[in-house]
Each structure stands twice: as C-alpha cells, then as structure tokens.
Amino acid sequence: MDIKDKVVLMTGAVSGIGKATAELFIRKGAKVVLAASSTEEVKELTAKIPDSLAVIVDMTKPLEVQKMVQQTQDYYGRIDVLINNAGQDTNTSFESINVDDFTRLITSDVYGPLVAMQTTIPLMEKQGGGAIVNISSGVLQSVSPKTGSARPALNTNSLNTRTEYSSPGISISLVYSRKQDTDISKLAKRRKATSIKQRSMNHVLETPETIAAKIVDTIEKGIAVEFL
C-alpha cells in the first residue's frame, strides 16, 4: 500500500508507539485521525502533530467507538488503515482486582478494539481493502493466571480475524510491544484500589520509532504479520 494520501485512524496516539507511528505516517503523506479521550488531549495532539485530525472517544463506550469510525468516514470518505493502540494493563491479581476496574479494563482493551474492527471492516470491504494493526504487549504472550490482563483476548480476536479476512484484501497484523517496566497511570493514582498501568516506553527493548517503522513497513508491503 502506498501510504501517501491514505487515511489512517489511530487510537492511543497520545504518546509512545501511537505518537511515533502517527508522526511517521504524516511524514509519509498520510491523512491521520488521532483518537483521544479528552478535550485536553485533543488540543495536545493537534499541537504536537500538525496536519492531523483529532477526535474525542472513550474506548470503553461502544457507541463512541462507532462514532469515531463514522466521523473519520464522514470527514475523509474512507478509512485505509486502523491502528488499535489504546489500552490499559494491570498487575493486580485476579483475586485482588476490583470488579468495576476489571470490567472497565475488559471494555477498553477488548470490546473497544473489537467494535472498532467491526465498524471499520465493512467500510474497508466496500472500498476494496485496507489494513488493521492491533498493538498488544509482548509480556502477555505467556501471561500468568495471577495477572489481571485483558490483552490475551485482544490477541485471540486479532488472530481469528486475520484468518477470516485474509482474502478480501484486508490485512490484520498483531504487534507485541516488548517492555520490561511500566509507569503507574493517573487513573491508578486516583483509584488506589488497583494498580492499573498505562503503556509506557520506559525500559523497552525497542524504541517507539523502531516499532513504528515496522508497523508502517508491514502496511506498505500489504502483508498480515505477527511480530515483536
């Protein structure tokens, strides 16, 4: 796929892999839509990444996810690439995690990307193809039963969907972002009952820019891959 003038819908674009990938797409001439969860983040994104369109979305709310996709379609008339990068992890054990927090985790990490794919795939089919990349975490390939994480479900969704949609020209890739440590998010500071961690690029085995280059290269080659 020639990236120039293609429409890319990116979630989780505030920092790290998402921001680096969005910036690389823009340098290659793509039209990038950045999904953020608040007005403040939208302002920050448009300031950091000029020549982009930012939309407000809560990935825990399916209707907002559908609206995000529809806003992109209405504005540009197509969606060529969907990058599912928004998500949270937790290191709290299953026996300790607050049920409400785990429900929100599942909704954000599994249902959000799932709804985004369900809403985007029919549009890609009508236009003749597209590419989807789901960004997970390398540490979740061998997840422990004591780890309260929703990411394996996203991994399964990605792999199943790759098989189903390989023929209509829609490539679906799964990226494990390897990391050794994470930072406690603002949400975790507000909610002391759990220790929810946002994706951070501190102490990573690869830089955000390196992973971004792999993602874009995969899309340019038009292949569906699973890589670290």
Q: Tell whether the model's pLDDT for residue 198 goes beyond 70.
A: no
CA Rg, the chain, in Å?
16
Please give the pLDDT value at position 8: 97
Least confident of 9-13, 71-75, 197-201: 197-201
Quote the CA–CA distance of 34 and 8 in Å, as a whole number: 9
Averaged pLDDT score across all residues of the chain: 75
* CA proximity to 105, closest of 93, 90, 85, 91: 90
Sorting pLDDT into bands at 50, 70 and 90, what band is 94? Answer: low
Higher pLDDT, 171 or 192: 171
**Cα dist. 178→26, 144, 217, 227 in Å?**
24, 16, 18, 10
**Cα dist. 199→131, 145, 158, 176, 188 in Å?**
23, 20, 19, 12, 13
Quote the CA–CA distance of 127 and 218 in Å, as a whole number: 20
Sorting pLDDT into bands at 50, 70 and 90, what band is 228? Answer: low
Please give the pLDDT value at position 91: 57
Quote the CA–CA distance of 67 and 70 in Å, as a whole number: 5
What angle (nearest 5°) sits at the alpha carbon of residue 187, between those of residues 181 and 190? Answer: 120
Quote the CA–CA distance of 132 and 83 in Å, as a whole number: 6
Residue-wise pLDDT for 122-157, tens only, equals: 999 999 999 999 987 533 333 334 443 444 444 444
Least confident of 40-54, 70-84, 85-99, 195-209: 195-209
Sorting pLDDT into bands at 50, 70 and 90, what band is 226? Answer: confident
Q: Tell whether the model's pLDDT for residue 224 goes beyond 90.
A: no
Fold of 7-227: Rossmann fold (3.40.50)
